[in-house]
Structure 1
Amino acid sequence: MNIAFTICSNNYLAQAKVLRNSINKYGENVKFVIGLCDEKSDEIDYNSFQCEIVEMKDIGIKNFDELWMKYDIIEFNTSVKASFFKYLLAKNPNTEFIYYFDPDIEILDQLSILNAEFENNADILLTPHILSSIPLDGFKPVENTFLNFGIYNLGFIGLRGHSENARNLLDWWEERLLSLCYNQPEKGLFVDQIWMNFSPIFFKKVKVLHKMGYNAAPWNLHERIGLVATENNKYLMPDNSPLVFYHFSNFKYKNPETLAKYYDRYSLENSNSLKKLYQNYHQKTIENEIERISKIDCKYVILKNDLPKKNKSFYEILKSNFNNLLKIIYYKIRYNYNYEPKL
């Protein structure tokens, strides 16, 4: 048996359902699980997801409440990733391969294609943000973008279940995520992602996937804009590999024509096939009630905002606001755009 899972708060469950549906379609013998970084809400029918949904508070993370109190919602959702990997492997001892996908990913071809990548003894699968150099033409993104946020995109990672390498990586990664999963690139930190720069050095049997059909996304369109729509809503990439999954990072259902407002190299007008891909995804999110569900606030954010100010020292308040100010200044000076990265 193989496992695929995602992690999100209630407000991303519409996207998670699109992912679930695509895995049901293309993932033979794959168990899908949602890790909920939230408390269940009366506004959502969880039975409609027809998959296992596990509240993160129930997986045995030590000092769990400290995570949502010290991290923002993106940091919080990413800080539990290694812990949830370990939880699922412990609960499913016969797992052969286990995959994490961000909730805003859609599977578009058979997941068995990914299984084959574990041949030749690989234990850990990673996808780089980019596979080729980016022209220095004044458009964004640029190569140094990924030096700030990580060489690999952790919207996806695949592990061979119960391999020694996987266990070692998860133990190492978990320790860092539970203590240092901050969005502070000016300090060399970017949530769960930038740590993985070390993985090919620290661990054996790490395989970097070089096919364009894995984790195509707005940041690597300089090499993948030539994708071609084929029959049955499938796509062929410029390297003749199938588009196995696309990462709709920064997708805004209210403005579906915009790829990502701080990436300006391409728009949907540059590719009819890409436009079709986004139009189909937009329709699926609407059908899964993204308009309503995206407005449901994370319970832990509500609790955090309700904490009495007297419980916070003057130093903590000053430090929090100072870090936010540093981020705004850093991105404005270096990249001339407002700070709100989400890679």
Structure 2
Amino acid sequence: MKLAFTICSNNYLAQAKILGDSLFDKNPDYKFIIGLCDELTEDIDYSFFENIEIVPVSQINIYCFDEIIKKYDIIELNTSIKPSFFKYFIEKYKDLETIIYFDPDIQIMNKLVLLEEYLLEDDVLLTPHILNPIGVDNFSPSENLFLNFGIYNLGFLALNPKSQNVADLLNWWEEKTLKIGFNRVSEGLFVDQLWLNLAPIYFNKVKILHEYGFNVAPWNLHERNAIHKFEDEYIMEDKSKLVFYHFSSYNFTKPELFSKSYDRYNSVVLSKEIFELYNQYHHKLIHNKISFFSEIKCCYFKVEDKIIKKKNLFEVVVYNITPPFINKIIKKIFKFNK
């Protein structure tokens, strides 16, 4: 059995459906599951997700789940449960041959056979954010960004489910994500991703993928800007096939922007096929009811809880950067508002 899964809250179900549909289109022998970091709601007709199984996180019995929903924001929560979902599926499906995680905003563009072949020899497959050096300039991303947030992008991770080596990695990784899976880059913490910098050191049979066609995204588009279509396949400049594209942070309300965070791809000429990829993805989002799903709030985060968190964060930041006499004034203002 071959399994691919993603994790998202109800507000990302349009993206997750595109992922699942594209997986079935190119790899019909796979099972696809959405790990729902949310609760099922009567507001959604889940029959819309034909042939896609949805497993709410409450069903996988994470021992400290009541604790992590109190201490994590929605991004931290979604990423912290990734090792736990891996462990749950490996335990449940004893006949698993391959298990792959994809972020919900990924689209599968080709067969996954090369990944399956790699897993016959290796236990862990990782994709670096970039594969070539970057000079010092004013474009983003720069190399230091990846040193802060992670060398490898954890929007993709493929594992050998039968390996004790993988079981050891998941136990180690799960402890980190459930206990200290915070987005606190200044403390050396960035959700689930930063930890995997250590995987090639701590664990065996970790393969770093160097083909351009794996995990193409806005942060590496400057080095993978020449994508050309031949018959029904997209071919990269290194002659590898485009296997999956990561439409990270794409905002369907601003289709002219490929990314709100990166602009390095503006320093090169992009092939017309890249614009075509974004155009078709935009239309798929609309077709899969992105305007409806994107407005749904995660049940684990109430509006008043978010306001309190933001206020506390603002108090901490302001207190640390302003003189004492101004802090006294700010404290009085907060006290008055409360």
Paired position in structure 2 for 1:259: 258
Against the structure 1 CA distance between its residues 42 and 136, is the aligned structure 2 distance closer, same or farther, given a 3 Å change threshold?
same
> Take 2:106 and 2:127, find their aligned partners in 1: how far apart are those partners?
14
- Name the SS of the counterpart of 1:275 in structure 2: helix
Identity of matched residues, %: 50
**AA of the residue aligned to 2:87:** K
The question of whether the paired residues in 1 share the 8 Å contact of 2:182 and 2:189 is answered with yes
> Take 1:323 and 1:93, find their aligned partners in 2: how far apart are those partners?
48
Count of residue pairs the alignment pairs up: 320
RMSD: 2.3
> Take 2:222 and 2:319, find their aligned partners in 1: how far apart are those partners?
30
> Take 1:323 and 1:175, find their aligned partners in 2: how far apart are those partners?
27
Paired position in structure 1 for 2:11: 11
Matches within 5 A, 1:39-188: 39-50=39-50, 51-119=52-120, 121-188=121-188
The question of whether the paired residues in 1 share the 8 Å contact of 2:83 and 2:174 is answered with yes
**AA of the residue aligned to 2:213:** G
TM-score (norm 2): 0.89
- Name the SS of the counterpart of 1:251 in structure 2: coil
Shift of 1:325: 6.2
Q: Which has the larger radius of gyration?
A: 2
Shift of 1:8: 0.1
Deviates more, 1:19-28 or 1:8-17: 19-28
Shift of 1:306: 8.5
The question of whether the paired residues in 2 share the 8 Å contact of 1:134 and 1:222 is answered with no
The question of whether the paired residues in 2 share the 8 Å contact of 1:149 and 1:194 is answered with yes
Deviates more, 1:8-17 or 1:51-60: 51-60
Paired position in structure 2 for 1:332: none
The question of whether the paired residues in 1 share the 8 Å contact of 2:8 and 2:34 is answered with yes
Deviates more, 1:235-244 or 1:132-141: 132-141
- Name the SS of the counterpart of 1:165 in structure 2: helix
TM-score (norm 1): 0.88
Against the structure 1 CA distance between its residues 77 and 304, is the aligned structure 2 distance closer, same or farther, given a 3 Å change threshold?
farther
> Take 2:284 and 2:15, find their aligned partners in 1: how far apart are those partners?
9
Shift of 1:231: 2.6
Q: What residue ranges of structure 2 are gaps of 5+ in the alignment?
A: 323-338
Q: What residue ranges of structure 1 are gaps of 5+ in the alignment?
A: 330-343
Residues 257-284 of structure 1, C-alpha deviation per residue, up to 9 Å, x if partnerless? Answer: 2011221122497331110000010111
Shift of 1:205: 0.4
Residues 153-187 of structure 1, C-alpha deviation per residue, up to 9 Å, x if partnerless? Answer: 00000001121111000000000000111111111
